[in-house]
Amino acid sequence: MELLHQFSSGLFIIQSIIFLALLFLLGKFAWKPILKSIDERETSIIDALNQAKLAKQEMAQLKEDNERILREARAERDGILKEARDMKDKIVNQAKDSAKVEGEKMIEAARQSIQTEKNAAMADIKTQIGTLSVSIAENILKEKLDNDGAQNALVENILNKSNLN
């Protein structure tokens, strides 16, 4: 406490001059570079924040673009799948129709072939029956016409019948 009572005005003036000189020297050589580096630091921080905002906006834009591209790809995929299903159905229906037409043609050809075979078989049977009938009639006539009297009677009978007709 005694120190406060021993105030010396000369010492105060010298210390004030030294303090002012120190302030001048600091202002001249230290404060400008310090303030300049603080300003540069502030500017770089602001730039970094702006770049971060821009990067965030770009990321949001990229995300939106990716979602849009995915939606478009899904829509295109769905369209291609629908077109493929339609094409498959069309091909299957065409194949069914073609198979039906071919089947009907084959059935008709088989019917015609069966009818032709049936007609040929009937003609063959008629021929065989005719040949067999002639053979049987020949054998019967040979047995009945072994003698001359029977032959004469048969001829007269046929002539009488043909005159009547």
DSSP conformation class of 42:
H
- pTM recorded for the entire structure: 0.41
pLDDT tens profile 83-126: 999 999 999 999 999 999 999 999 999 999 999 999 999 998 88
Q: Does residue 144 contact residue 154 with C-beta atoms inside 8 Å? A: yes
CA distances to 55, 59, 76, 97 from 65, rounded to whole Å, are: 15, 10, 16, 47
